[in-house]
Structure 1
Amino acid sequence: MILKFAILAIVYLIIFFALRIMYKDIKSGGRKRVSSKKSTFGLEVVEAGENRNLKNGGIIPVQGELTIGRRNNNHLILEDQFVSGNHARIYVKNTDYMIEDLGSTNGTKINDERLEDRAILRVGDEIQIGSTLFRVIG
């Protein structure tokens, strides 16, 4: 008998909380927060190359600035003999995401073309740094 009342109480609690959530949603006009471009922008690992800390298909979110290189002072450290200590930097300028080569020895490629200085990144662009290949997602 007590078990029946306990189950009934749990069912009523679930219904109560569901109705409360629906009421709050209706009261707020059903608006959902729209995430900004900055929070959805990132890099997908297409080929991890020599990097044990990356996996193919992994996602690296980019918010604000991301420095890439072999040294430990970078946000993204690549264990690759063809990557310079401070190789590249991704950052926001106005509303665009930019990539800049930091004077690396072996260069940075965007869509199979060597990056001379800096460029605007677009969704779908492929970035090659050493043996690692990334795809821009957003």
Structure 2
Amino acid sequence: MMITLAALSTRTGRAFDDHLDRSLTIPVLDGIQAQGDLLVIPAHLLETSPEPDAGWRPVPPEGLVLLDGVHPHVLVADPGTCLSTDGPDGPVFTATAPVYLMHPEHGATGLAPGRYAARRQREWRKTVPLPVVD
């Protein structure tokens, strides 16, 4: 199913910044994706991934904040299609249908069904990781 920024905004009650075209259709992709300071990585590309008995919970209809820097990165899914849990390095989610990541400034991106890990982008300075804030 193809969805627009306007439909996601109506569905979640979350707004996008004025510079974004609400009629844009959001593509659904299955690879590594970046949205500002958030990276989303297919779990099969990671060394380890939490197992299904690791406290999985459904993504609520209004969405789930994966990362809240200056603006929230919100995971949105149809009811019953996505479960999330806290992994050792950040949120992990598994979806049986396309899901979407919303951000007020960056718009939205679609993720194909599968298991993903969310990671905050970091900068390395003098061997110390610093979180990127977007």
Could you say whether these structures have the same fold, taking a TM-score greater than 0.5 normalized by the shorter chain as the test?
A: no
Higher Cα Rg, which structure? 1
TM-score class, shorter = 0.3 to 0.5
| TM-score normalized with structure 2 length | 0.34
Which of 1 and 2 has higher RCO (CA within 8 Å, sep 6+)? Answer: 2
